[in-house]
A = this chain, B = another copy of it.
């Protein structure tokens, strides 16, 4: 369910956060679904429970899941909507990169092509 890269610069707890959000965004994790327990996921990934606790706490702070002590941790009703809103900040990232590409003289078409490719439209130009 999760893929951890231990050598990159992205902290493990942040990878968990990102990947959980993606699972929600793509509909694989839906409202009411139970997240893996810190202990279970700790064993599966060979990661310290505290690290996972940190990730889950942040997801909770963002309103993507709620904890039911003694029971488990579950995806909230508005998780999907919240993730969608959060994704809009990514548009600024794209805009920022596009500015650089523009300054570097990369053709606009190349940048647009990259977006289309990400959306699955394999554009032959």
Contacts and interface: CB of A to CB of B under 8 A. Distances in A.
Interface magnitude class on chain A: 35 or more
Contacts of A26: 103-104
A9 B114 CA distance: 27
Interface in A107-125: 108, 110-121
Contacts of A90: 97, 100-101, 106
Interface stretch (A32-40, A42-50, A80-88): A80-88
Count this chain's copies in the assembly. Answer: 2
A94 B104 contact: no
23 contacts: A22-B100, A26-B103, A83-B104, A84-B106, A87-B104, A88-B106, A90-B100, A91-B113, A92-B114, A93-B97, A94-B97, A94-B98, A94-B114, A94-B118, A95-B115, A95-B117, A99-B118, A100-B118, A102-B119, A102-B120, A111-B118, A111-B119, A115-B115
